[in-house]
Amino acid sequence: MPARALNWALHDGIAVVTLDLPGEPVNKISRAVKDEFNATFATLERDPAVRAVAFFSGKPDNFIAGADIEEFVRLTSAPEAERLVADGQEMLDRVARCTKPVAVGIHGACLGGGFEFALACHYRVATDHPKTQLGLPEVQLGILPAAGGCQRLPRLVGMRAALDMILAGKVEHAQRAFRAGMVDELVPPPILKDVTLAAATRMAGGWRPRRRRPGGVMGWLLDGNPLGRRLVFRMARRQVLEQTRGNYPAPLAALEAVATGLAHGIPAGSKREAELFGRLAVTDVSRKLVQIFFATTQLKKDFGVPDPPPPVEVHRLGIVGTGFMGSGIAGTAVTQAVVDVRLKDADLARVAQGLRAAREIVDDRLRRRRITKHEHQRLVALLSGGDGYVGFRRAELVIEAVFEDLTVKQRVLREIEAVVGERAVFASNTSTIPITRIAAVAARPERVIGMHFFSPVPRMPLLEVIPGEHTAPWAVSTAVSFGRRMGKTAIVVRDRPGFWINRILGPYMNEAAHLLLAGAAIEEIDRQMVRFGFPVGPLTLLDEVGLDVAEKAGGVLHAAFGERFAPPPAVASLVRVGRFGRKAGQGFYRYARGKKGGADPAVYELIGIRPNGGLRPAEILQRLVFAMLNEAARAVGEGVVRSSRDGDIGAIFGIGFPPFRGGPLRHLDDLGAARAVSELERLAERCGPRFVPCDVLREQASRGTRFYP
Ligand code: 3HC
């Protein structure tokens, strides 16, 4: 007999049920677990000694992570998927209808089907611990909450709050969930069990919780009548379409399931939920999003070196350079990793500015109510700075974010080596300069590494970690592990110019400029890439990155890889007149008071062209996409990323490559190497040798191989 996941014992008439899936780090609801739930709840209902139920997780930091996603991967047809969730619904209906009241004590992640289970219970107590998070992230996997989530949540918290969570796949900290009415009581972890038991006992005695009307007066007005509901749904639908541009069907399906349930009752809503789940679970979009989930999960454990040595634990972080990147790293390190941060710059005015910017990131967390006032004070106190290296001696990690210039970076490295201890790692936040070159002047090159953050640091989820030729494995695991503490997904990449992200961006950005010179309009170029699924187009991205910065990076790539990377003159003409992009208030677009305006016609004059409408949208799209795909394949051939997985996750998290396409390498696999090669050959003929297909793709085409097995 396999070990049981659900066990229970009776305490003064209360059945204390514990879910602890043997041999697994988290609880998840598989077919087998469902069977156990059904059998256990049937026994509890029958047993006259049981007056109420108190339910807990046996895992230290996890409640229930949802339905078992591994089971979705094995689904082969829509009817099979529909049956799978219909069984789950039946199980939760049994809990909801249980004649004995059920109280649930939640500590740790309570997500997807786990949260839907909690919603089916009659009373919810949650701990106020940061690890306790509740939510319905299903749409992030291309499916919808289909175990009653689209039915029970709107009834509990009101339609607008429920849609807000369901349509965005949001996960909330317990405090916010409590404020929204998703849990009934919020308690410190040591008393979770007692409080939940007390609630179960009270309910056994006939007491029932009285909950306020969901959504207040407005909720009553809108939720309670068909006209109000129609208005809310219409607005939600418009918002979803604006955000997904029709590329992600799951949020619209969820909206439909909620609408059906509110109009025709829970049974009809649940039936629709199951049907829609069936359809979505076997779509290509859902498969791609599930692959991304498993790839990111694997990356959480991957240190990028074989047999990784234990990382040095970082208590104090030194940062040299207090500009936008330095202060961004400082603020993020304080809020996410809760370490002591010491900033250094050449003069105190700059240090003050950097500290202010870092503090702004902490303040933002308070404004968004992610932290309490007390935590805010504690975090702000972790930030300090000066114009010398005072306070750097104890730092286990120092990150430099100074001007992108080899000599400056080498000077900083030598200064740092003179003050820090033996086991301190020196990381450069360079975006293009090879780490081995920076480390050439180091007394201990084994502890020099690259940590390439993306801008804006608090928001961008990717970190490229770049070991130089002599970097020691312990320095790699230290950088990766600290990046993870900062909340980043880290990929370890090879020390080649541009690393991975800028390498694949380079030809793409250049192609945008080529298109502009060939007469394509600014908005049209951007529109095509947004249509493809990028959050913004290449010219908007150039404005965000800064044209001056991009020009410099482009120069490094051109010098390293030759003609293929030759920048068309468009960007240089704009840089010459100070059109650096958003930060200068003008680039390809106009900016007023921080807001992006329309494309600026002055750009055409400056680069001496006139948009002529001569390029078809399909051609614009093809040239941009293939410029990136070809370079990505070539870089994989050079071992720039350790695996296709890292390459795809990097592109999705680093530049917003459309997740529903799975990343550039998965996309190439979907197209097929033979087709990619013939498209590239056609483009090379028309536009020049920069499109000549790389060897990797040619070889794949001739051997019939691919990036993924
Ligand atoms: N199904 C299958 N495996 C899961 C899982 C799930 N729902 N959640 C986590 N796991 C696995 C991970 O793949 C990983 O496996 P491994 O050890 O073999 O690599 C292991 O559990 C540990 O996970 P993490 O490394 O991610 O652990 P963390 O502590 O960092 O994070 C977590 C825990 C916050 C729960 C995170 O794993 C997570 O976000 N999980 C997914 C949550 C989710 O999307 N749930 C919705 C599922 S769909 C659903 O419920 C449909 C329903 O509406 C019908």
Q: What does 355-424 look like in DSSP terms, one character per residue?
A: HHHHHHHHHHHHHTTSS-HHHHHHHHTTEEEESS-TT-TT-SEEEE---S-HHHHHHHHHHHHHHS-TT-
What's the CA gap between 346 and 321, in Å, rounded?
8
Query: For a pocket test of ligand 1, which of 297, 298, 302 has the largest count of ligand atoms closer than 8 A to its C-beta?
Result: 297
Look at ligand 1, atom 21, and give the residue with the nearest C-alpha: 26
Look at ligand 1, atom 52, and give the residue with the nearest C-alpha: 113
Q: How are strands ordered across the β-sheet holding 62-64?
A: 62-64, 109-111, 133-135, 171-173
CA 65 to ligand 1 center in whole angstroms: 5
**Number of neighbours of residue 410 by Cβ within 10 angstroms:** 18
- The CB of 112 under 6 Å from ligand 1? The reply is yes
Is 474's pLDDT higher than 90?
Answer: yes
- The CB of 465 under 6 Å from ligand 1? The reply is no
Q: How are strands ordered across the β-sheet holding 185-187?
A: 6-11, 14-19, 52-57, 102-106, 123-127, 185-187
pLDDT score, position 220: 75
Radius of gyration of the chain (CA): 28
CA 516 to ligand 1 center in whole angstroms: 45
**Number of neighbours of residue 94 by Cβ within 10 angstroms:** 15
CA 66 to ligand 1 center in whole angstroms: 7
C-alpha dist (Å) from residue 575 to 502, 587, 640: 19, 9, 30
What's the CA gap between 317 and 465, in Å, rounded?
17
What's the CA gap between 313 and 397, in Å, rounded?
9
What is the share, in percent, of the chain residues with pLDDT greater than 90? Answer: 90
Look at ligand 1, atom 39, and give the residue with the nearest C-alpha: 65
Per-residue burial over 636-646, b = 16 or more CB atoms within 10 Å of its CB, e = otherwise: beeebbbbbbb
**Number of neighbours of residue 618 by Cβ within 10 angstroms:** 9
In this prediction the pTM is 0.94
Calculate mean pLDDT across residues 552-558: 91
- The CB of 74 under 6 Å from ligand 1? The reply is no
Which amino acid does the sequence have at 321? Answer: G
Q: Which of 331, 299, 333 is nearest to 316 (CA)?
A: 333
Question: Which residues, listed in sequence order, are joined to residue 427 by a DSSP beta bridge?
Answer: 399, 449
* Local confidence band at 372 (pLDDT 50, 70, 90 cut-offs): confident
CA 41 to ligand 1 center in whole angstroms: 25
- The CB of 194 under 6 Å from ligand 1? The reply is no
CA 168 to ligand 1 center in whole angstroms: 18
Task: Look up residue 205 and give its DSSP letter.
Answer: T
Task: Look up residue 334 and give its DSSP letter.
Answer: I
Query: For a pocket test of ligand 1, which of 29, 63, 69, 131 has the largest count of ligand atoms closer than 8 A to its C-beta?
Result: 69
pLDDT score, position 533: 96
Per-residue burial over 435-452, b = 16 or more CB atoms within 10 Å of its CB, e = otherwise: bbbbbbbbebbbbbbbbb
Three-class SS of residue 509? helix
Instruction: Tell the burial category of 490 from Cβ atoms under 10 Å away from its Cβ (0-12, 13-18, 19+).
Output: buried
What's the CA gap between 399 and 413, in Å, rounded?
10
Query: Considering the chain, what is the average pLDDT of its residues?
Result: 95
Calculate mean pLDDT across residues 267-293: 97
Q: What angle do CA 483, 485, 487 make, to 5 degrees?
A: 75
Look at ligand 1, atom 36, and give the residue with the nearest C-alpha: 65
Half-sphere exposure of 64 (CA within 13 A, CB side): 27
- The CB of 69 under 6 Å from ligand 1? The reply is yes
Is 295's pLDDT higher than 60?
Answer: yes
pLDDT score, position 484: 97
Backbone angles phi, psi at 488, to 5 degrees: -95, 150
Q: Is the CB of residue 478 less than 8 Å from the CB of residue 314?
A: yes
Is 222's pLDDT higher than 90?
Answer: no
Three-class SS of residue 701? helix
Give the nearest ligand 1 atom to 114 CA.
Answer: 50
Three-class SS of residue 679? helix
- The CB of 66 under 6 Å from ligand 1? The reply is yes
CA 273 to ligand 1 center in whole angstroms: 22
Q: Is the CB of residue 114 less than 8 Å from the CB of residue 136?
A: no
Active site residues: 464
What's the CA gap between 135 and 205, in Å, rounded?
31
Which amino acid does the sequence have at 533? Answer: G
- The CB of 280 under 6 Å from ligand 1? The reply is no
Quickly list H helices, 180-283: 192-204, 216-223, 226-244, 250-264, 266-281
What's the CA gap between 412 and 414, in Å, rounded?
5
Give the nearest ligand 1 atom to 298 CA.
Answer: 19
- The CB of 541 under 6 Å from ligand 1? The reply is no
CA 56 to ligand 1 center in whole angstroms: 18
pLDDT score, position 221: 74
Give the nearest ligand 1 atom to 294 CA.
Answer: 13
CA 299 to ligand 1 center in whole angstroms: 13
Task: Look up residue 617 and give its DSSP letter.
Answer: H
- The CB of 113 under 6 Å from ligand 1? The reply is yes
CA 371 to ligand 1 center in whole angstroms: 25
pLDDT score, position 432: 85
Calculate mean pLDDT across residues 120-130: 96
Strands 185-187, 102-106: pairing is unpaired
Backbone angles phi, psi at 31, to 5 degrees: -60, -45
pLDDT score, position 2: 61
pLDDT tens-digit readout, 311-331: 999 999 999 999 999 999 999
Q: Which of 320, 343, 346, 345 is nearest to 331 (CA)?
A: 343
pLDDT tens-digit readout, 4-63: 999 999 999 999 999 999 999 999 999 999 999 999 999 999 999 999 999 999 999 999
- The CB of 295 under 6 Å from ligand 1? The reply is no
Task: Look up residue 4 and give its DSSP letter.
Answer: P
- The CB of 111 under 6 Å from ligand 1? The reply is yes
Look at ligand 1, atom 24, and give the residue with the nearest C-alpha: 297
pLDDT score, position 1: 53
What's the CA gap between 672 and 53, in Å, rounded?
55
- The CB of 88 under 6 Å from ligand 1? The reply is yes
Calculate mean pLDDT across residues 181-201: 97
Q: Which residue has the tokens 């839907």?
A: 116
What's the CA gap between 489 and 653, in Å, rounded?
8
Look at ligand 1, atom 46, and give the residue with the nearest C-alpha: 112
Give the nearest ligand 1 atom to 116 CA.
Answer: 53
Q: Which of 138, 285, 241 is nearest to 667 (CA)?
A: 285
What's the CA gap between 540 and 582, in Å, rounded?
9
Task: Look up residue 443 and give its DSSP letter.
Answer: S
- The CB of 219 under 6 Å from ligand 1? The reply is no
Q: Which residue has the tokens 């056609």?
A: 682
Look at ligand 1, atom 26, and give the residue with the nearest C-alpha: 297
- The CB of 300 under 6 Å from ligand 1? The reply is yes
- The CB of 70 under 6 Å from ligand 1? The reply is yes
Look at ligand 1, atom 22, and give the residue with the nearest C-alpha: 25
